[in-house]
Amino acid sequence: MFDKIEELFEYGGIRKDILLLVVSGLGLIISMLTSNRWNLDMAWLAIILCGIPIVVSAIIGLFRDHDITADVLVALALVAAVFIGEYFAAGEVAFIMQLGSLLEELTVSRTRSNIENLVKLTPRQARVIRDNHESITPAEKIAVGDIVRVNPGETIPVDGVIIKGKTLINQASLTGESLPVDKKEGDEVYSGTLNQYGSFEMRVMKTDENSSIQRMIRLVQAADVSKAKVVRLADRWAVWIVIIAVVAAVCTFIFTHEIIRSVTILVVFCPCSLVLATPTAIMAAIGNITKHGLLVREGDALERLASVKKIAFDKTGTLTYGKPEVVAIKCSLANWDEAKICSVVGSIEQKSEHPLGQAIYRYAKARNAYFADVEHFKMLPGRGVAGNLAGVDYLLGNEFLLEDYGILVPEEKKNIAAAYMEKGCTITWISADLECIGFIALADTIRINAHDTIKRIKDCNVEPVLLTGDNKNAAIEIGKKTGISKVQYQCLPEDKMNYIENEMARSERICMIGDGINDALALKKATVGIAMGKIGSDIAVDAADIVLVNDEIENLPHLIGLSKHMMNIIKVNLTFSMILNFVAIILAITGILNPVVGALVHNAGSVIVIVNSAFLLKWKKR
């Protein structure tokens, strides 16, 4: 029965609540101006439209949930005020309380399905080879040991091991690696990752329900359920507020025998300004950060952010731009210089679709290199590219390509290349007619403002941490360049989530900022999750509480500073509200305030709270 009543009053959503408040407000204005001229107090509109839902909520809380909330005291004040004929006071209290509830509802997003996009990543069918015959089979019917063929551009349906072929796999969805990974026979591949080049056959090691992507889905679901929400402050103190108010009202009636004083106590004790103290400050803060390109998806996210002591950064796409760029070109022969190499590699790579090839082509084009026609261009999956230019056969690729053709690399160049690789660079070797002429070093470039942003975050007394799937040397190098001393490397999605869990288990409130699917678990588990909006995946955005719409991490210090200032404003609002309430109670006990004046007094307190919160709209971090 209670569930059906609750559904009846919840039907319609925010638009209905706004309409009811407008009508109730007009009723109160007419009531104040007409003084019951029509023998019908229009304050009844507010009592019925705003008051009845509060009374119903209080009854449901008491009898079904066995819980005392702020609505209980408001319901008592409403009934008592109506009983003695103080209709305006009853309507005004109901109106203010519903206004506070609406503001809270506007700042808190409804539950969303942040699993849908993860589910879409998993192919629902696969090419299964049985008895030398290939057939399209539903993913749920694939068994361990089956042979599956994956063509270029397809998403890998299940976890397995390559038994035939070579390819290039984009594993960003699971590991966050900025560059695709070469895979050959004997290497493991994972569901939800993308096969970019080359067809291959794999032996299934894990079925659909036990695959990597399904495990991630279950972890995100578990993290979502376990994330606690902030309870409304007035409800946290509701039991004591109700007890004090009722005891004060009863004692006053016993000693004075004036029921109007008791009703006035109940009216002024209603936590209207307490209810408004938090949501008004949050709404003003949200209005502020919206102008800085941030979107708040969870209403209490700023409250949680204010208490954060650490902020964990993903690397790729967060501290870096998420795409490879040429950082160095090294020549082995005297008759070769950078301009000549740019001309050759740019001519060949302009036909390549590989991310590294596109980066090399962009670099050469930016330096106005001359591009010639290439003959016999070939993509060599898992190795590189080949082509003939002016009668010379060129090879561009990794060390495996050079090994395949028996090309020797000078020891000096190997050492130089090794130094670049230790810093996290990827090396593309260049050969002409089977002679090594040099290499190109590529790396994911750090955002221009990353170091300054980290410094300003430290100034906010928040410690930055780097969580990355890269190797140790690359992670440490990024840490040095950005000013982050605490680095965790070779992190899988579960590793990032476990780090967040361990920190929170030690009562360390921690924020996570990332952009990829592999960050979703940590984003959902952290005290606050912040996602990159432009470069970030849909999964990361859905898992986050706050989104950097334009990927401008330089706004993070402002966001952190604003959240802390917002909490100071909330504390001021709450202190003022409590002092005003107790002063009003004393005046009510002594008979100086009647219910209507008492309602107006704490209504004025609510206005002051709103005005104080509004200063957050133009706050700037100095």
Helix, strand, coil share (%) of the chain residues, nearest 5: 55, 20, 25
Q: pLDDT at residue 613 above 50? A: yes
Q: pLDDT at residue 181 above 60? A: yes
Bigger pLDDT: 542 or 441?
A: 441
CA 508 to each of CA 63, 487, 502, 504, 608: distance values in angstroms, whole numbers, following the listed order: 38, 17, 9, 5, 35
Q: How many residues does the chain have?
A: 622
Q: What is the DSSP letter of 526?
A: S
**Hey, which residues does 436 pair with through a beta bridge?**
431
User: Using CA atoms, how far apart are residues 502 and 506, in angstroms rounded to an integer?
Assistant: 7
Question: For residue 123, what pLDDT band results from cuts at 50, 70 and 90?
Answer: low
Arch. (CATH architecture) of 123-210? Distorted Sandwich (2.70)
Region 440-469 average pLDDT: 90
Centre a 10 Å sphere on the Cβ of residue 181 and count the other Cβ atoms it contains.
17
Residues 489, 470 contacting (CB under 8 angstroms) = yes
- Burial label for 342, CB within 10 Å (0-12, 13-18, 19+), is buried
User: Using CA atoms, how far apart are residues 149 and 489, in angstroms rounded to an integer?
Assistant: 33
Q: What is the DSSP letter of 155?
A: B
pLDDT confidence of residue 538:
62
Tell me where in the chain the CATH 3.40.1110.10 domain(s) lie.
321-446
User: By percentage, how much of the chain surpasses pLDDT 90?
Assistant: 13
The H or E element containing residue 326 is: strand 320-331
Residues 159, 190 contacting (CB under 8 angstroms) = yes
Lowest mean pLDDT among 52-66, 183-197, 204-218, 499-513: 204-218
| DSSP string for residues in 44-59 | HHHIIIIIHHHHHHHH
The whole-model pTM stands at 0.65
3-state secondary structure of 230: coil
Residue whose structure tokens are 């007419």: 30
The H or E element containing residue 189 is: strand 188-189
Measure CA of the first residue to CA of the last residue in the chain; give whole Å.
55
C-alpha angle with apex 125: 123 to 126, nearest 5 degrees? 100
Region 13-32 average pLDDT: 75
Question: For residue 79, what pLDDT band results from cuts at 50, 70 and 90?
Answer: confident
Lowest mean pLDDT among 101-115, 243-257, 460-474: 101-115
Q: Who contacts 465 (Cβ-Cβ below 8 Å, separation ≥6)?
A: 310, 311, 312, 313, 484, 486, 487, 488, 510
Question: For residue 130, what pLDDT band results from cuts at 50, 70 and 90?
Answer: confident
Q: What is the DSSP letter of 492?
A: -
Give the pLDDT confidence of 351-405 residue by residue, as tens digits. Answer: 887 888 889 999 999 988 888 888 888 888 778 899 998 889 999 988 888 888 9
How far is C-alpha 489 from the chain's CA centre? 22
Tell me where in the chain the CATH 3.40.50.1000 domain(s) lie.
293-320+447-562
Region 419-445 average pLDDT: 87
Residues 293, 555 contacting (CB under 8 angstroms) = yes
Q: Who contacts 209 (Cβ-Cβ below 8 Å, separation ≥6)?
A: 140
**Hey, which residues does 256 pair with through a beta bridge?**
none
Region 532-544 average pLDDT: 68
**Hey, which residues does 134 pair with through a beta bridge?**
129
CA 615 to each of CA 274, 313, 395: distance values in angstroms, whole numbers, following the listed order: 18, 31, 63
**Which CATH fold topology does 321-446 show?**
Calcium-transporting ATPase, cytoplasmic domain N (3.40.1110)
Region 134-151 average pLDDT: 86
| DSSP string for residues in 349-385 | HTT--SHHHHHHHHHHHHTT------EEEEEETTTEE
Q: What is the set of active-site residues?
A: 314
Give the pLDDT confidence of 182-235 residue by residue, as tens digits. Answer: 788 888 888 877 887 778 999 998 876 666 666 555 545 544 444 444 445 555
Question: For residue 430, what pLDDT band results from cuts at 50, 70 and 90?
Answer: very high
CATH class of domain segment(s) 293-320+447-562: alpha beta
How far is C-alpha 194 from the chain's CA centre? 24
Give the pLDDT confidence of 247-293 residue by residue, as tens digits. Answer: 888 888 888 888 888 887 777 776 666 667 777 788 788 878 877 87
Tell me where in the chain the CATH 2.70.150.10 domain(s) lie.
123-210
pLDDT confidence of residue 230:
42
Residues 548, 293 contacting (CB under 8 angstroms) = yes
The mean predicted confidence, pLDDT, of the chain is: 79
Residue whose structure tokens are 């299964």: 128
Q: What is the DSSP letter of 507?
A: T
